[in-house]
Amino acid sequence: MEGRRRILVVGGTGYLGQHLLQFLATSRSFEIAFTHHRPIPPQELLDALPSVKSFQVDVQTGEGFNAVSASFGQPDVVVNCAAISVPRACEMDAEAAMATNEPSSLVKWLHGYGNRNSLLIHLSTDQVYEGVKSFYKEEDETIPVNMYGKSKVAAEKLITEKYENYVILRSSIIYGPQTISPVARSLPIQWMDNVLSQGKEVDFFYDEHRCPIYVKDMVHTISSLTNMWISDGKKMQLVINTGGPDRVSRVQMAESVALHRGYSFSLIKSVSASSINRGVVSPADISMDITRLVELLGKKPSSFHDGVKATLETIPIS
């Protein structure tokens, strides 16, 4: 691998994809490209990252990957952020969820380069775990309880069986600032800030636990893996729980937002997740042991407290 290294972000218009592109574009050592699914990528993103190439690709069919080969070339690293990432949407259209989230066309395209392997960094989820205990380890059995988790387990199986050089990141909730081109869905900290700022009581679950990760730690993880592959060229076969250091419920998340903003804790009404039908089964406790991640980064990711503070500093008080 000689010359400037090439990184392709598949699903670069999404929440993580945009943050990753924004960071990678600051480095002169990389040529960067991203894929989008919508017909035209957001103009704000193109304006903010003028040196980054974009390609329309449908991962369900693989249409568009040949254009990447023709005008960008084989990437040294592919980061796969493309997915139907909303569990309820996966539940409503299981076929589309499987076809999008299982990266068959991407792996087939990469196989076309023969033995000249690219590193594939694939985004999976904590929802591969059943959610019946605390601090899951990577070796624990994956027992997904919803279609989103099932499609992600299928993706992991495909990659581990059919591809030689990969890192699978089992991500918890990713939170942080809004993206260059705002994403359509509401972001967790911003949503909590908004509802609590209205001064009315709001329901939050006390019995679902996660290890949310600050988006900049996720970007740093991907960047560290990229640099490892580029500097030593040793193939990787890794699965890594990618979460923050704190196991928190939605009540605790809301309390952290309230603490930083000075909202009264009395607005936070503690309710059971079982009291609300969200149209999808949600695992109760999928907190993760992140020892492997800490070893990789050489330090702990941001505490939830610090990540919330950094996120809220980017949002004006309403």
Ligand X SMILES: NC(=O)c1ccc[n+]([C@@H]2O[C@H](COP(=O)([O-])OP(=O)(O)OC[C@H]3O[C@@H](n4cnc5c(N)ncnc54)[C@H](OP(=O)(O)O)[C@@H]3O)[C@@H](O)[C@H]2O)c1
Residue numbers 29-68 binding ligand X by CB under 6 A: 36-38, 57-60
Least gap, CB of 249 to ligand X (angstroms): 16
- Cβ proximity to ligand X: between 118 and 179 the closer is 179
Q: Is 16 in the site for ligand X (CB under 6 A)?
A: yes
Least separation in angstroms between residue 56's CB and ligand X is 8
Residue 52 C-beta: closest distance to ligand X, Å: 14
Q: Does 286 contact ligand X by CB under 6 A?
A: no
Q: Does 222 bind ligand X (CB under 6 A)?
A: no
Which 61-90 residues touch ligand X, going by CB under 6 A?
Answer: 81-83, 85
HEC assignment per residue over the chain: CCCCEEEEEECCCCHHHHHHHHHHCCCCCEEEEEEECCCCCCHHHHHHCCCCEEEECECCCCECHHHHHHHCCCCCEEEECCCCCCHHHHHHCHHHHHHHHCCHHHHHHHHCCCCCCCEEEEEEEHHHCCCECCCECCCCCCCCCCHHHHHHHHHHHHHHHHCCCEEEEEECCEECCCCCCCCCCCCHHHHHHHHHHCCCCEEEECCCEECCEEHHHHHHHHHHHHHHHHHHCCCCEEEEEECCCCCECHHHHHHHHHHHHCCCHHHEEEECHHHCCCCCCCCCECCECCHHHHHHHCCCCCCHHHHHHHHHCCCCCC
Q: Closest separation between CB of residue 85 and ligand X, Å?
A: 4
Min dist CB 43 to ligand X, Å, is: 13
Verify binding: residue 14, ligand X, rule CB under 6 A: yes
Tell me whether residue 29 or residue 186 sits nearer to ligand X (CB atom). 186
- Binding ligand X (rule: CB under 6 A), the pick from 6, 7, 17, 118 is 17
Is residue 223 close enough to count as binding ligand X by CB under 6 A? no
Binding region for ligand X (CB under 6 A): 11-17, 36-38, 57-60, 81-83, 85, 100, 123, 125, 171, 173-174, 183
